[in-house]
Amino acid sequence: MNILSFTTKAAIVLLLAECLLSNGMGTAEASGKVTSVKQSVSINTASALKNMVFDQMKTAVPSSLQSFTKDVVNELSGQDSFGKWKNASISYDPLGPGTHSWLATVSQNGKPIGYLILTSTDDGNYMLSEYGRDESMPYNSQALYNRLKQLGILTAGSKLPAGTSIDAQYSTLLPVWKVSVPGKKAVYIHGITAEELPVETAPAADMESGGLTPHPGIHLTSTILPEQQRDSDPYDNLLWLKSPKLSLKGTTDLMQAVKSEQSSLVFTSPGHNANYGAPFAITGLHSWSIAENKGTVLYAASGAAGTRYLPASALLSHGEFRSMNLSHM
C-alpha cells in the first residue's frame, strides 16, 4: 500500500479543488445581514470566535424544526454507535446564506458529541442534509481559529481587522466558513477540514438533495456496516483510480454494492471534487423508513469509522463510485 505524505495529500487536494475554476458554486449572498466587527477587536479564544460568528445571526428556532430534530435524534440514539445521544441536549445555530439552514449540536454534559444540519425546502419544510458523530463535527471553532492565525487574518494580539465578517454557510455536502476582510477577496475555509479553498465557493442556491423530511412515523430501520475493517482514506492507495466506474442507477444499487464489496467504495465527482470535499470512502449505510409505506431514505456513512452521514441520492446525482477492492483490477 502506498502511503502518501501529508504534503503530497495536501497538494492533491489543492489540485482537485482547482475544478471549481470551471464550475464554481454560484455567488449567492446572505439574504440576512451579516454583522462585521466595527473596530479591530481581540479574539483571544476559539470560544470567543464561535460566539462572534453565531451570535450575530441568533434568531428564534422554529418549533417544527425542533420537533423534527428530536425525532431524528431519538431514532439514532437507539443505535450502538449513537448510544451517547440518548437524553442528550440539543442546541441550534442558524447557517447562511440567510437563515435557510440550521446546525443542531447534540451535547452530553456540556460536551458536543454529534450534529445534524437541516435545510429548508421549497415547500417550507425541512430536510436532514447530513448528520454525524463527534469525530466529524463541522464548524470547529478551534480549527477555524488556528487557520485564521496561520493566514494572518488574526494578527498580533489575536486581533481581527475592523470590518471583518465571518459567516458559517452550507450548501449540498459542503459546510464552509466565509471570511471577508475589507479590501480583500473573501476567503472560504472548509467547515470540517479547515482547509482553505483555493477559489471562491459561495454556497449554491439549490439545496434539494433528497434527504429525510418530517413525516409521522420515521424510523431508522436498518444499518449496513461492514463486518470486516474497511479502508477509509482513498489517499492511502490511489489504485482505485484505475478501477471502473460502478453502474449504479439508484439507492437500491448502491445498497447492494455496499453489501457486496469486500472493501470500501470511493465517491468522487470528476471536475467538481472540491465542491463536495471528495474523494472520500463510503463504509456503510443508514436506511430510514417512512410510515404508511411512503418509501425509504438512504444515508451513506463516510469518514473515519463512518462518522459522517450524507444523503445517498445527493451523492448519486453529484458524482460516481469506484471500488477500493484491488482484487477487481
User: Is 57 part of any domain?
Assistant: no
**Residue 319 identity (one-letter amino acid):** G
What's the whole-number mean pLDDT along residues 45-73?
89
Selected residue with higher pLDDT from 128 and 307: 128
User: Is 115 part of any domain?
Assistant: no
User: Is 290 part of any domain?
Assistant: yes
- Helix, strand, coil fractions of the chain, as percent rounded to 5: 30, 30, 45
> Cβ distance 169 to 203 under 8 Å?
yes
DSSP designation for 152: T
pLDDT at 312: 94
pLDDT at 15: 39
Q: Three cell numbers at 77? A: 440514539
Q: Three cell numbers at 259? A: 453489501
Distance CA 30, CA 257 (A): 39
Distance CA 208, CA 164 (A): 31
What's the whole-number mean pLDDT along residues 64-84?
94
Phi, psi of 170 (to 5 degrees): -145, 135
Q: Which domain holds residue 300?
A: 219-328
The answer to pTM > 0.95 is no
User: Is 237 part of any domain?
Assistant: yes
pLDDT at 328: 47
* Residue whose C-alpha cell is 436498518: 222
Q: Three cell numbers at 246? A: 460502478
pLDDT at 134: 81
> Cβ distance 209 to 127 under 8 Å?
yes
Looking at the DSSP bridge assignments, the partners of residue 132 are 115, 308
> Cβ distance 179 to 189 under 8 Å?
yes
User: Is 15 part of any domain?
Assistant: no
| Number of domains into which the chain is organized | 1
CA dihedral of 151, 152, 156, 162, whole degrees rounded to 10: -120
When mean pLDDT is compared over 37-46, 136-145, 296-305, 320-329, the highest value belongs to 136-145
User: Is 212 part of any domain?
Assistant: no
User: Is 146 part of any domain?
Assistant: no
Distances (CA, A) of 105 to 75, 113, 115, 234, 270: 16, 8, 4, 28, 32
What's the whole-number mean pLDDT along residues 274-295?
83
Contacts 24+ apart (CB under 8 A), 293-302: 294/215, 296/221, 296/251, 297/210, 297/211, 297/212, 298/251, 298/254, 298/255, 299/130, 299/131, 299/211, 299/212, 300/254, 300/258, 300/267, 301/225, 302/267
Q: What percent of the chain has pLDDT over 70?
A: 77
User: Is 279 part of any domain?
Assistant: yes
The pLDDT-based confidence of 187 (bands split at 50, 70, 90) is very high
Measuring CA to CA, which residue among 97, 5, 19, 10 is closest to residue 318?
A: 19
